[in-house]
A = this chain, B = another copy of it.
Amino acid sequence: MDLQHAVALSALPGISRSRVAAVSKALTDQSGDDCVSLADVVAACRPDLDASAVVSEALTVASTLLKAAAAQGIVAIPRGRPGYPPLLATIGDPPPVLWVRGQPSVLSHRAVALIGSRAATPYALEVARRLSGELAGRGVTVVSGLARGADAAAHRGCLDAGGLTVAVLGSGPDVIYPAEHQDLAVSICEKGALVSELGPGAPPLQEHFPLRNRLISGISLAVVVVEASEKSGSLITARCALEQGRDVMAVPGSVLSGRNRGSHALLKDGAKVVETADDILEGLGWGSEPSAHADGSSNPCFDNELLEMMRPGESYDLDGLAVLFGDTGPVLLTRLTGWEVRGRVVRLAHGRYMRRPDR
């Protein structure tokens, strides 16, 4: 999709972003064509509006946003283009464009989200910091929301361990909220990224955050709830994750404080118990020691099915693999990432994959 076109899609006045996201995905899925007509989307969402006026206004806004982004080194990645996180493309309402500040390449790494309360207990802060450091040590990118409390502890724990971390914002990538996280945001951008579906200058309105949450889970293979009370916003992210077919995991804690009631409710509903990063990796079928499963044979999640379908020397895009493998979503990507981690599959440019010759 043409960049200005994609940005305009995410800036249609009078139409909610999530509705545009879902409708434009449905239309492109239907037509098989990456490029959806802006007027068609407006007509589908709001037949009462004058489509051409809406489109023209959106294109003007898009042009302004792209100029502002360029001036600040912010990149816009349209859905369907290389660099757009492949996992995010599998959700029901992927944003038409993703704005990235920092290193866009980090979005193609395997990632796990760590989330928790803003008003986190010292216990949750320590757990977030520790788990995040452990994940960093195992080459996993840590995704969170740059909020106070558990989010910030997760980002910092990852940075302290020399890892890559991604913050998903409920504002434009140049608008840091809370303001006290300005330095943290700068550190994240050095090797990681700030991402948002909102263009430069967008303020951190309250209604942005629930939508932001679907991106946190959308770019991650699993969501780990570090601490959540009964009405925590983290549970919204957990629900998004389940809808998106992601693994939901939770860290247990005190049953006396009430501060973990939401996490424990998730555990009662079958979320995986997380004590250490090994639990997360095992939950994802990656095993705690990738080297022990180098041939994939002893780990049922890495059965050879996918690998055998890929002919050595031939490269495949995700759509091609999805057809071969019979699954378009997280299962395919989890296995692909698993084989990639094991050095049996290599990721090429433009989102293509190739099987490495057998050793």
Closest to A271 in B: B273
Are B256 and A123 within 8 A (Cβ)? yes
A73 CB to closest chain B CB (Å) equals 39
- Cα A267 to Cα B126 in complex, Å, equals 22
A200 within 8 A of B: no
Residues of chain B with a CB closer than 8 A to A127's CB: 255-256
- Cα A61 to Cα B249 in complex, Å, equals 57
Are B252 and A260 within 8 A (Cβ)? yes
- Cα A8 to Cα B127 in complex, Å, equals 56
Which residues 293-329 of A have a CB within 8 angstroms of B?
none
- Cα A264 to Cα B274 in complex, Å, equals 9
Residues of chain B with a CB closer than 8 A to A260's CB: 252
Residues of chain B with a CB closer than 8 A to A254's CB: 123, 253-254
Contact of A273 among B126, B130, B267, B279 (CB under 8 A): B267
- Cα A274 to Cα B260 in complex, Å, equals 12
A228 CB to closest chain B CB (Å) equals 13
A29 within 8 A of B: no
Chain A residues bordering chain B, tally (CB within 8 A): 21
Are B256 and A130 within 8 A (Cβ)? yes
Which residues 114-136 of A have a CB within 8 angstroms of B?
123, 126-127, 130
A160 CB to closest chain B CB (Å) equals 17
Are B264 and A255 within 8 A (Cβ)? no
Are B267 and A252 within 8 A (Cβ)? yes
A288 CB to closest chain B CB (Å) equals 13
Are B275 and A264 within 8 A (Cβ)? yes
Which residues 125-165 of A have a CB within 8 angstroms of B?
126-127, 130
A335 within 8 A of B: no
A132 CB to closest chain B CB (Å) equals 14
Residues of chain B with a CB closer than 8 A to A275's CB: 255, 261, 264
A171 CB to closest chain B CB (Å) equals 32
A268 within 8 A of B: yes
- Cα A329 to Cα B60 in complex, Å, equals 75
- Cα A130 to Cα B255 in complex, Å, equals 11
Supply 21 A–B pairs (Cβ within 8 Å), ascending by A: A126-B256, A127-B255, A127-B256, A130-B256, A251-B255, A252-B253, A252-B255, A252-B260, A252-B264, A252-B267, A252-B273, A253-B253, A253-B254, A254-B254, A255-B275, A255-B276, A264-B273, A267-B267, A267-B273, A268-B272, A268-B279
